[in-house]
Structure 1
């Protein structure tokens, strides 16, 4: 429920016009987000994705569709045609992890492919035939750089990959889309060895994929790693055929319930230019979020929204008419959008722990050309509602609390909203709508 506050508490000021260079260089002064609504806006690709996460019926569409997922990475559920079809209806491309379907992996006593090459190839062939025509991406092996999920070293993994890739193309032809190496960390030297093996052995990799698990202070490295990975798509490795870069798991166990960290992860994946990404899942007190159909912990086991669900919801609201925004503070990320036919203009800001325990800060959001959000003939006033995405752990959060609500003069060159006490790991959503004309 909207709770109005006094204008004085809103901390709103219409300021003289200031230049906005649109660059990324840090600026001096208090933590500030800047944007210009004169920008026409553009559609951007969603970086929301999930690992396992759902079934053909759970969670309900009202909890799933608003998040605009673009990738779904699955194990056994990926063999369920209804679940695959549902992922497509939601807009998510399905990825099937072959290792999850092989001889008890990753339970104690599972048998590695190199112990029986014929059995491995037979299983890949069986899966390919069973899923032909579904347009899946086939991820050969999960985290082969992690002892829990692989033993035998890189050479045997490379051979495992080669055999699977060959069988997939034999069975699926041009339909085959093969992903790897799906390392748990971005290791440039190790990925280079994998790519060199593929180059010299005629192995084609359609999707270069890996995982990113960072503390908040190192989240910006995600963007750097994605940018550096582009070298594996050209030059010496062009013949390998990489067409896309996927960060298939993002987010540590510690970040699982932190809205600000989730927004920062999405921001740096976008900034790096990935083609798709997926949220990691972790164990929780009430069950493993990989398997309890909670969208990797965005929902409670009782199918209630959590604060991190709202962070993804807010991000998804900015995809269709994205306006560039910048920040002078390395602990803040932001996404802004003009209004569309179905959504109002919004600014979404996330605060993550880039400075290791900095605590709450006062944040300014400076918006130029707010008047451009009004249609011809509309009154020159805009209503601004500021909602908080709190750090509330695994508790349910049925709606976003309103912190501020006020009307501003859209004709001002710059409208500045001051958000006091913006806690680390939190988010804020600013929604802007035309204010009704005064009677």
Structure 2
């Protein structure tokens, strides 16, 4: 017995001192195929564009549900209506940022200070009323972008709240304006105290708020925390039933340093789904590796395409996410650090997106499919495992095939053991005849 204890102790010491051994772990994703697959509502969205006509093929593949815009459509021209109609034809909810349309034309300096809608509401009222007459209830109206930031709002918080009411009243006083969809406050990050003050103001001033929102421009851990923030915000809303808030929406997701990372985008989409949120639009940024490139204004769908229109790693994430919407399965993992999305694609193949959010490399990883009643679905099929590698701003022609093999159906189940899944990485598994 003493000898066995010494052997065990020596093993622990060796393992602890060995970095590879220390970082290897095992985990399991379980998919129950007896649970009927169901259609999911997309939570994916994008921010800004130049010309939607040039993006029609990508839009058809990626099937975004939301698009938030404004800055490139300031002019009151037929172009704006054409672009909105293109979104509507693709079943995309247009979200127009009123401050983007308003600022250059009406927000001007006079006598050394900003003239804000809270000081003189007439120009803003006229603009908002005109936009509603043009677009009506086809769009969601986001009143002001990041009013807690001095770069885009030089006034006080109270002055912004008054400006929000100017926009609200202009919309509600329009013909059929009671059905207008209004969202705010669009602050740059989750701030409980700010949201409480905003909701309290709305409650005291008879503002009907359809969708509460804030931005979340962070990393993978921030994406995980988003679930707790949404949960807390829903508790706040219980104090204000008169406002009529129906949804929570995140107008901008994914931070600057993570803008090209497909796993971070996946983590945000996963949190939005689990929180039953309205959706989230991927943020756009300057590209630190390429001076002069800004993904807001180069028609790159917020950087998931490069300047030549070729896909980056995040494009593949959004592609597989879109494929998953038609026939989603329920997949579960025994670790909070692993996220997954399983589905049957249009070719009746089993597919699984899985992301390792931890700092651990998984030496072996198990995917377990159980309760398979239709054996033909998996007969004579093989698996292929791909890595969706984060190549930053470089294009990714296609995910890398890193493992493949035959599958064995036994007792109405399939057990696949995958090896060497890296920390902070995204993978795509498919079981097919090819």
Both structures adopt the same fold (TM-score exceeding 0.5): yes
Tell me the TM-score normalized by structure 1. Answer: 0.84
Correspondence for 2:268: 265
Q: Which has the higher helix share?
A: 2
Query: Which residues of 2 match residues 28-427 of structure 1 at below 5 A?
Result: 30-53=26-49, 55-59=51-55, 61-77=56-72, 80-104=80-104, 111-132=115-136, 135-172=138-175, 173-234=177-238, 236-284=239-287, 285=290, 286-337=292-343, 339=344, 341-342=346-347, 344-352=349-357, 354=358, 358=359, 360-362=361-363, 364-369=365-370, 371-372=372-373, 374-375=375-376, 380-427=379-426
Conservation of the 8 A alpha-carbon contact between 1:246 and 1:276: yes
**Displacement after TM superposition at 1:29 (Å):** 6.1
How many residues matched? Answer: 398
> Within 2, Cα distance between the matches of 1:106 and 1:306?
38
- Larger radius of gyration between Structure 1 and Structure 2: 2
> Within 2, Cα distance between the matches of 1:29 and 1:180?
43
Conservation of the 8 A alpha-carbon contact between 1:346 and 1:431: yes
> Within 2, Cα distance between the matches of 1:118 and 1:251?
36
> Within 2, Cα distance between the matches of 1:185 and 1:105?
27
Structure 1 unaligned regions, length at least 5: 1-27
Correspondence for 2:12: none
The DSSP-based 3-state class of the residue aligned with 1:122 is helix
> Within 1, Cα distance between the matches of 2:105 and 2:394?
33
**Displacement after TM superposition at 1:232 (Å):** 4.4
In the superposition, relative to structure 1, how do residues 370 and 282 fare at CA in structure 2: closer, same or farther (>3 Å)?
farther
The DSSP-based 3-state class of the residue aligned with 2:64 is coil
> Within 1, Cα distance between the matches of 2:366 and 2:331?
10
Q: RMSD between aligned alpha carbons?
A: 2.5
Any idea what the Cα deviations from partners look like across 1:354-385, whole Å, max 9, x if unmatched? 5xxx364335132222744544xx67343212
Conservation of the 8 A alpha-carbon contact between 1:30 and 1:364: yes
**Displacement after TM superposition at 1:118 (Å):** 1.8
Correspondence for 1:23: none
> Within 2, Cα distance between the matches of 1:393 and 1:242?
38
Correspondence for 1:428: 427
> Within 1, Cα distance between the matches of 2:334 and 2:209?
39
In the superposition, relative to structure 1, how do residues 175 and 398 fare at CA in structure 2: closer, same or farther (>3 Å)?
same
Conservation of the 8 A alpha-carbon contact between 1:345 and 1:432: yes
Correspondence for 2:77: none
In the superposition, relative to structure 1, how do residues 310 and 66 fare at CA in structure 2: closer, same or farther (>3 Å)?
same
Structure 2 unaligned regions, length at least 5: 1-23, 75-79
The DSSP-based 3-state class of the residue aligned with 2:410 is coil
> Within 2, Cα distance between the matches of 1:106 and 1:249?
25
> Within 1, Cα distance between the matches of 2:378 and 2:102?
64
Tell me the TM-score normalized by structure 2. Answer: 0.85
In the superposition, relative to structure 1, how do residues 298 and 208 fare at CA in structure 2: closer, same or farther (>3 Å)?
same
Conservation of the 8 A alpha-carbon contact between 2:147 and 2:153: yes
> Within 2, Cα distance between the matches of 1:148 and 1:154?
14
**Displacement after TM superposition at 1:325 (Å):** 1.7
**Displacement after TM superposition at 1:160 (Å):** 0.4
**Displacement after TM superposition at 1:91 (Å):** 2.6
> Within 1, Cα distance between the matches of 2:50 and 2:382?
37
Identify which range, 255-264 or 97-106, moves more after superposition. 97-106
The DSSP-based 3-state class of the residue aligned with 1:147 is coil
Identify which range, 171-180 or 288-297, moves more after superposition. 171-180
